[in-house]
Amino acid sequence: MGSRLEANSAKSRQRIEKHRFENEEGEEYEPSNFGGFTDYFRRKKIKLQNLDAELRSSASANPPIFRGVVAHVNGYTQPSLNDLHALIVTHGGGFMQYLDGKTTVTHIIASNLTPKKKIEFHKYRIAKPAWIVESVAAGRLLPWNAYRVVDEGAGQQILGFDNGNVISQASTQKVGYKDQTDTSWYTGQVQSVAKILDERQSPPSDPEAQSSNTQTFPHSEVASPIKSTNRPVEYELSQEDDTGAFGQGEIDQVSERSFKEVEVTLDEVKVPIVTARQAEPVTARQAEPVTARQAEPVTARQAEPVAARKAEPVTVRQAEPTRDPKGQTNHHNDDDTSVTLLKPSINNDTLLTVPEGQDSKSPCTLSAEEHNALLLKDPRVWKSTVANPGFLKQYYEESRLHHLSTWKADLKSQLQALATEKTSSQRTRVKRTPGARRYVLHVDFDSFFAAVSLKKHPQYVDKPVVIAHGGGSGSEIASCNYPARKFGIKNGMWMKHAQKLCPELKVLPYDFKAYESASRSFYEAIMDTGGLVQSVSVDEALVDVTPICVEAGGHDGKGIHEGSIWREQETADSIALAIREKVKNLTGCDVSVGIGGNILLAKLALRKAKPAGQYHVKPEQVLDFVGAVTVQELPGVAYSIGGKLEEIGVKYVKDVREVTKERLMTTLGPKTGQKIWDYSRGIDHVEVGEQVLRKSVSAEVNWGIRFVTQEQADEFVQSMCEELHKRLMNERVKGQQLTMKIMRRAADAPLDPPKHLGHGKCDTFNKSLVLGVATNDKNILAREALSIMHGWGFSPGELRGLGVQMTKLEPLRGSAENPVASSQKRLQFQTFSPQTGSLPLTTSHDHIDSPQKPKRSVQHPAAAYASQISPSGKRRSQVNTLGTQFVMPSQVDPQVLAELPSDIRAKIKSNEYQGAKNHSDKPRGYSRPASPSSTADNLPTHSQLDQETLEALPEDVRAEILQFYQRSPRKPNTQTLLPQSPHKNRSVNIATKSTTPTKKRTGLLLYGKGHGKSNAASSSTLTQSNFVANRTVTAQVREGDGVAADDDEVSQEFLAALPEDIRREVVDQQRRNRLKKRGGLDLAASYSKKRSGRKEGQTSAGQRRLQLLARPAKPTFTARKLSALPDLREAMKSWVEEFQTEAPFTDDVDALRSYLIKVILEEQNMSKAVAVTRWLEWLVEDIGEPDKMTGWRSAIARIEDGIQEAVKERGLGRLDL
Amino acid sequence: MATYTADAPVLDNYHAVVSAFSDFLTVAIHTILYERDIYPRSSFLAARKFNCPVRQSRHPKVCKWIQDAVAAVEVEMLKVRVDICKVVLCDVSVVISAGGDNLCTLSNVSLVIHAPPPSSAPLERFLFSTAAFPSLPSSEVLTPFNGSPPPAADLPEQFRATISRLSTLSSALSPLPPDCSFTLVTELRDDADIHPPLAPDTPWLAAEPHLQKQRKRNESEAQPGSTRGKDLGGVKTTPIRNVESGAFVMEMWVEEGKAKFEG
C-alpha cells in the first residue's frame, strides 16, 4: 500500500483525533442554503464525527486499541454496521460512514466484496468484521492480515509461522457466503448457546465447549484462545510488540522490536524459557524454536520441531491434563503392551519413560536421532527396527500383509495351473457374442479368518470375536465375526477402539494353516462348477458360469425365448447354492454368493447376500438395484472419489445418472469418470479371468523405521532396492520410472507414534525419476533412490517410512542370467566378409573382364572401403568415412601432405595410390590438382554408392548422402563427364562450370524452383553412357564400366524423382547392365541393338550427343550479311548519311523492307525490326531539313507498311512504330 | 561480369533450356503482375534476380499459383512442344494447334490479362514464344547437344535486359482498368500429332474459343492458324525483346486486345 494511503489516512486520522465536540453552536449546526448539498453533506459528516467524539469520550474505560485506525464498513456484515461502529469508536478508533476515497481510511471492513471491488480494493486493507470483534475480545489490536478479504489469489504461497518453523502454505481463503455464515457472529452465538445447552446435559468433555464457557466475551468461536492455538500462528502472535513471529506477509508491521525480543531470548538460552512456558505457554512456544536453533545451529532442522513439539503436550497437560487429546495418546501408549505373533513383545512403558523423563528434564536437547538412539538401546526394539541388518528379511517374513499378498500370489499361480489343467478349452469358451446374457458369481467367505478360527473355538460362535495379532491395543483387527460387527467393529479397526466398543470382545490369534486348507477346499468347490474362475483373494473368487447357464436355458442366450431366461437364472442360482453347500460341507464355514450379469453386479449382489446367503440381480432389476446403492459402495470407489462425487451432488448411484458423462470425466478424470458412468448404469466391461497387467512393482516399509545415522538410512535404502530388484526379477520385468516415497514424521506428531514403532502421523513425499533405459539393476536403483532421498535432505531420525517403486514396466526378454544385456536393444550390424575387407578401393576396375569371379569380389568398393576403415562395423563411422571420401582430394600437394598427421597421411596416400593406379594410363602431374576431369574421375560418383550399404544405413543418413550428391557442386562433372570421353568440347564446358558451382543455389527461393528437379534429371545422363570405347581403350573401359555397372544401384528415391520416361530408360539400362555383368554378354551386340534406333550419329569418343537441327539461317541485310542490331544501325547510319541530301533509292528501301519482313516472319524478331525502323526514323529526323526529309519519310512509311503487313501475316495486331 | 557468368546456366541439353525458361517465366510473370498493377504494388517485395531488381508478389497464394502454373508449363515443355507461351489471367489453359514430327509440344506461353468479370475480355497478352526452341523426341530431353549451339553465358544478362524492358513497358501500354485478372495460356505447336493435355487429371483447361486457334484433325495440310480466335493477335502489338542464347531462342511481345480500345 502506497505512501498515499498512509498520507491520506493519516490526515483523516489526525482530523478525527483532533475532532472535539463542545456544543451544538458550531457552524455545522447552521441551516443549509437551498441547493447547498455539498455544504449539507460536509456538515453531516462533521456532525457524525461529533457523535463519535462524544461516544469515544463516554467510553473511556475501554482500552483504545483501535487508536490510529480509521475504518469504513462496506456492505452487509455480522455484526451489523452499527455494532461495528460502536465497537471501533468506543475502542478509540475512527469511523467514516462515507468513503470519500479509498485512501481516507486505514481499513475497510467487509465480509465479502463484489468481484469488481475486489479488484479495485485489492491494494487496500480490507478486513473481515471478525477482526474488530476478535481484537476487542483479545484486548489488543490483532494483525488484520489474518482477516483478509482479498487475498493474493488462490494458490498463492504465503509464508507463515508454524510452531517456530517458517512454513510455506497455500493460501486457503474461503470465498463465499458460507464463510460468512459459518464463522459469523450470530452463528457463533447460536452455537455457543447450543453448546451450553449440551454441556448441561452431559458432563463437559469437549475442551472447546468448556473454554467457550469460560470466555467472558460471548463470541466464543472466534475469541477462544485455545481455538486460536490450533490456527496458524499468525494472529495468535498478533501484538507486534511482544511476539517473535511474523504475520502472514505482514513483515512490514513486525517491528524491529520483535527481532530484538528474539535476540534477547537467544541470549538467555534455555532456562528462562522453561519458566516462561510454565508461566505463559504462548510465548514459550515462540521462544523455544529460537533457542533450539541457537543451541545447535547445524542440526537446527531436527532440533527445533522436537523442542516445539515436546513443549506442546507438556504445557497443555499442565493446563488441562485430562482433556488434551495428545496427552491421551501419550497415556494410552503407556498402557500399550502389544504382544503379537509376529513382533516381539515390547514393554512400552520402559521405552517411553526414558524419552519422557528426558523431555521433562531438558526437552530442548533431544533430537529425533537421539530419541531413536535411546529407543534402540532396548535390544528387542533394536531387533525389530531397521537398525537390525536382517530387518528387511525379517520384516517381509513376518508381516501379515506381506504374507497374505504372497499367499494370494501363490494361490493365483496354483489356481491358474489348476484351471488350465481342468479346462483347457476355457479360453475359447470365453468368447461370447455381444449382447448375450451372462452369469457371474462372486463367492466370498463370511468373515473368513474369524469363521475358520471359530471352528477351533466353537464356544465363541455367538460371541463377538475378532482375529488379531493379540489383545494389545496396538494391533489391528484382521477379521471379525457377525456378532462383533453388531457392535460396530470393523475389519482394520484398532484393537483399542474395538475394545471400547465391545469390552467383552474375544480375540483369537491367526491360524494360517487352517486358513490355507479352508481356502483350498473353497477353491476346489468353485472349480467344480466348471465355470471360469478368477481368484480375487484367498477367500474370494469370481466365477463366470455363463456357458453352463446358457446350456441349461437351451437357447443361444441372446433373445428372449420361452422360459429360457428363467431356466438360465434357475441354473445360476442352483450353482450358487451348490457352491455354498459344498463349501459348508468341506470347511464348515458359510460363504455368500452374489450373482449378476457382470462383475460389478455380482459384487453388489454379494453385499446383499451376506451373511450366508445368495442374491441374484436379475437383468430387469439392475437399474433399481444399482441406483439404490451409495456411490461409495461401488467397487473401486472410496472416500476420495466419493468425496469428489459428493461435491457435485452425487450420493447415490442413481444420482450419477443425472450427471453428464463429461461432467464426471472432468471431475474424476477421463478413465474413472467413464467407469463411474458405466457403473451407474450397471455396466462393467471387465471380464472374469482378465488378468490386470501389473503396472508397478514396489517395496515399501513403514514400520520400524528408526534411524540414528544417515549411513543407516542409506544402507536401508540400498537393501530396499535390492528387495525391489528381487521382486522385479520375480515378475520378470524391468521399469523405467523409479518412484521414491518417503514418510517423514509430521511436524506435530509425537516422537513415538500410537502404534509401537509404527509411522504415526506423517508427511509423505513422493518423487519420481524417469530413467533413460528400463532397468532392474539394483545398483542403479539404489544410486537413484539415494540421490532422491538426499535431495530432500531429511534428517534420518525423522524418517518413518521408505518405499521404492518401479513403474513403466516392460517385460524382460532374454535369458535370466544376463537379462540386462539381452534385453538391451542392439543395432543389427552388417558383417563384412574378411575377403571384401581386404579388397582395395580400386576394385572398380574389373567387373566386366572377369564376370565369373565369385560374387563377393563384386562387393562394392565403397562398402569395402568402409569396412576397411572401420573393421568394428560401426554404422556411423561408415557414413563418416564415406563423407570424408567425398571431400578427400585425390591429388594432394606433397607439402601439405607432409604436414599432416601420419594416420591421415597414410589414408590419403593409399587413396592417392589407388587414384594413380586408376589413371596410370593417362598420368597427370600433381601440378594440376584443380584439373576438373581428374577430380571428376576420382570422386566416387553417385553410382559408386553401394545400394546395399545405402539401404543398410539409417533413413536420415541415407537421405543425407543422396542429398549430398544432389547438391554436390561437382556433380555435373560426374554426370556429364564419363571417363572414356575426354571430349574437348565438354571439358571446356566443365571448366566453366566447375568454377561456377554455386550458380543454381543463388537467387530467390521462388525462382530457384525446379532446380533440384533439373539436376536430378540431368544427372541421369549417366545412363547415356555407352560402351563403344570399351573395345578400343581397355583401361577406360574398365573404369567406365565400373561406373556404368554401378548405375543399377541408383536408389529408388533417386529414380522416383525422375520423370517417367527417363526412369524407364534408367531401369532398362540397369537391367541390361546387370544381365551383362552376370552373363558376360557380347558388348558389341547389345550395343548395336541398343543404338540402332537412335537417329543421332555417334561422336568419335562415343558420347552420344544431340545434333540440333540447324536453325534456319537468319536473314541478312545487304551483301555484307548484316544481322546483328548494332551492325544494322551502323549500316542505317551510313546509308542515311550517304543520302542525306536526296531521297533513298527505291531498291535500297525495298531491300530493307523485305529484310525487315523476313526478320519478323523468319527470324521472328519483331523487336529488331522495330528497333531498326525507329533508328532509321531518328536518323531521318536528325537531318533536320524538312524538304529533304520527305523522300525519306515516304521510304520509312513504306518500310513500316511492310512491317505491319508482316506482323499481320503472323496474326498479330499493328505494331506501334 | 563474373557474377553473371556465375549465374549462367549451361544450356547443353533441352532440359536445361526448359528450366532456364521456366525460371525466367516465373520472374517475368511476377514482374508483369507488378507492372500492370494487377495486384497492389505494396504486395510486392523487392528481390534480386539475374542481378537485377525485380518484384515478387509476397502473397502466398499468388506465388503458389504462379509456381504451379509454371511447373505445369514446364511439364508440357518437357513433353515436349509449346509453340508460344501466352499469359492470360484466370486459369491455365491450352490453345490447340497442329503439326510436325517430334514431340516437344508447346509453341508459346502467354500471360493474358483479362478485363474485370462481366466482359472478361482479354486486354493484354504477353507472349513468350518458344517456337524456336529445339524440337526433340521426349527421350532426348537430357541428351547433351552437340557443339553447335554454344553455351549461353550471357543468358542472365539477356534476361536482365528483358526484365528491365518489361518494367518500362507500362509507359508504352495504355493503362488497364482496375480489378483485372490474369491467366496463363499455352499454345501448342501446329503439328498434327500433338494433342492437348486435357485429360481430367492435368491442371490444364481448354482456353476460351476466342483465344484458340483450331485445326481440323484430319486435314494435315490445313493452314496453320486457319481458324483463329478473334482475340488472338489483338489490335496493337508491342515487341519486348528477343532472347537468343544457344538453344534458347525466345521472342516476346505484348498484344493489346480489341476490348481495351473499345472500352
**Do A920 and A1025 touch, CB atoms closer than 8 A?**
no
pLDDT of residue A167: 60
**Do A336 and A472 touch, CB atoms closer than 8 A?**
yes
The residues that bridge with B83 in the sheet, in sequence order, are: B107
Kindly determine whether residue A1062 and residue B141, on different chains, have CB atoms separated by under 8 Å: yes
Touching check for B146 and chain A: CB below 8 Å?
A: yes
Beta-carbon contacts of residue B259 (< 8 Å; ≥ 6 apart): B115, B119, B121, B122, B123, B231
Q: Which of B74, B142, B225 is opposite residue A1010, by nearest beta carbon?
A: B74
Q: Which residue reads 440381480 in cell numbers?
A: A617
* B-chain residue closest to A984, CA distance: B147
ipTM of the complex as predicted = 0.80
* A-chain residue closest to B15, CA distance: A1014
**Do A914 and A840 touch, CB atoms closer than 8 A?**
yes
CA distance A1215 to chain B (A): 5
* A-chain residue closest to B149, CA distance: A1108
Q: What are the chain A neighbours of B8 within 8 Å (beta carbons)?
A: 992, 996, 999
Q: What are the average pLDDT values for consecutive 10-residue runs of chain A, which has 1217 residues?
A: 70 78 76 84 88 84 85 87 90 87 84 85 85 88 83 62 59 51 62 69 45 38 38 39 39 41 39 37 39 38 39 37 39 37 36 36 55 70 68 67 69 66 50 68 83 81 78 72 81 78 80 80 80 77 81 64 76 85 83 86 84 82 82 79 81 81 80 82 75 73 80 85 84 84 82 75 84 83 86 82 85 54 53 43 42 43 43 40 45 65 63 48 42 42 58 67 55 41 41 42 41 41 41 40 44 67 75 61 41 40 58 73 82 82 80 85 83 85 74 84 84 75
* B-chain residue closest to A1015, CA distance: B16
Q: What are the chain A neighbours of B30 within 8 Å (beta carbons)?
A: 1006
Kindly determine whether residue B144 and residue A1105, on different chains, have CB atoms separated by under 8 Å: yes
pLDDT of residue A860: 47
Integer-rounded Cα radius of gyration of chain B: 18
A541: closest CA among A416, A402, A681? A416
Select the residue from A978, A984, A986, A1018 to test the B interface by mutation, using most B Cβ atoms within 10 A.
A1018
Average pLDDT for B197-210: 66
| A1178 phi and psi angles, rounded to 5 deg | -65, -45
Q: What are the chain B neighbours of A1003 within 8 Å (beta carbons)?
A: 7, 48-49
Interface of B with A in 70-129 (CB under 8 A): 70-71, 74, 78, 129
Q: What are the chain B neighbours of A1096 within 8 Å (beta carbons)?
A: 140, 143, 146
B31-51 confidence digits (pLDDT tens) = 988 888 888 888 898 888 888
CA distance B209 to chain A (A): 16
Q: What is the 3-state secondary structure (H, E, C) of A694-738?
A: CCEEEEEECCCCCCCCHHHHHHHHHHHHHHHHHHHHHHCEEEEEE
- Beta strands at A107-110 and A126-127: parallel, antiparallel or unpaired: parallel
Give A442's DSSP letter: E
Q: What is the pTM of this model?
A: 0.34
**Do A499 and A505 touch, CB atoms closer than 8 A?**
yes
The distance from CA A566 to its chain's CA centroid, rounded to whole angstroms, is 52
Q: What are the chain A neighbours of B225 within 8 Å (beta carbons)?
A: 1211
* A-chain residue closest to B57, CA distance: A1006
Write out the three cell numbers for A123. 491494494
pLDDT of residue A1111: 64
CA distance B199 to chain A (A): 17
**Do A687 and A431 touch, CB atoms closer than 8 A?**
no
Q: Which residue reads 458359510 in cell numbers?
A: A590
Say whether pLDDT at B219 is over 80: no
Q: What are the chain B neighbours of A996 within 8 Å (beta carbons)?
A: 5-8
Q: Which of B142, B143, B241 is opposite residue A1167, by nearest beta carbon?
A: B241
* A-chain residue closest to B172, CA distance: A1216
Kindly determine whether residue A1164 and residue B131, on different chains, have CB atoms separated by under 8 Å: yes
- Counting one residue from chain A and one from chain B, the pairs whose CB atoms sit within 8 A come to 166
Touching check for B45 and chain A: CB below 8 Å?
A: no
Q: What are the chain A neighbours of B235 within 8 Å (beta carbons)?
A: 1213-1214
Select the residue from A975, A1004, A1091, A1098 to test the B interface by mutation, using most B Cβ atoms within 10 A.
A1004
- Beta strands at A591-596 and B213-214: parallel, antiparallel or unpaired: unpaired
Q: Which of B22, B142, B225 is opposite residue A1211, by nearest beta carbon?
A: B225
Q: What are the chain B neighbours of A1105 within 8 Å (beta carbons)?
A: 143-147
The residues that bridge with A863 in the sheet, in sequence order, are: none
pLDDT of residue A947: 62
CA distance B40 to chain A (A): 20
A435: closest CA among A598, A285, A260? A598
Q: Which of B30, B129, B142 is opposite residue A1017, by nearest beta carbon?
A: B142
Write out the three cell numbers for A577. 447354492
- 3-class state of residue A1018 by DSSP: helix
pLDDT of residue A836: 40
A793: phi > 0 → left, psi -120 to 50 → alpha, else beta; which? left
CA distance B50 to chain A (A): 8
Q: What are the chain B neighbours of A1010 within 8 Å (beta carbons)?
A: 19, 22-23, 70-71, 74
CA distance A1158 to chain B (A): 15
A1040: phi > 0 → left, psi -120 to 50 → alpha, else beta; which? alpha
Counts of helices then strands in chain A (DSSP H, E): 57, 19
B59-75 confidence digits (pLDDT tens) = 888 899 899 888 888 88
Type of residue numbered A265: T
d(CA A449, CA A259): 62
Give A344's DSSP letter: P
Interface of B with A in 234-263 (CB under 8 A): 234-242, 247, 249, 251-253, 255-256
Kindly determine whether residue B238 and residue A1215, on different chains, have CB atoms separated by under 8 Å: yes
* A-chain residue closest to B54, CA distance: A1004
Q: How many residues does chain B have?
A: 263
- Largest Cα–Cα distance in chain A? 155
pLDDT of residue A693: 63
Q: What is the 3-state secondary structure (H, E, C) of A104-126?
A: HCCEEEECCCCHHHHHHHCCCCE
pLDDT of residue A1041: 42
Kindly determine whether residue A972 and residue B10, on different chains, have CB atoms separated by under 8 Å: yes
CA distance B239 to chain A (A): 5
DSSP A1091-1129: HHT--SPBPTTS-B-B-PPPPPPPP-BTTTTB-SHHHHH
Select the residue from B101, B142, B160, B163 to test the A interface by mutation, using most A Cβ atoms within 10 A.
B142
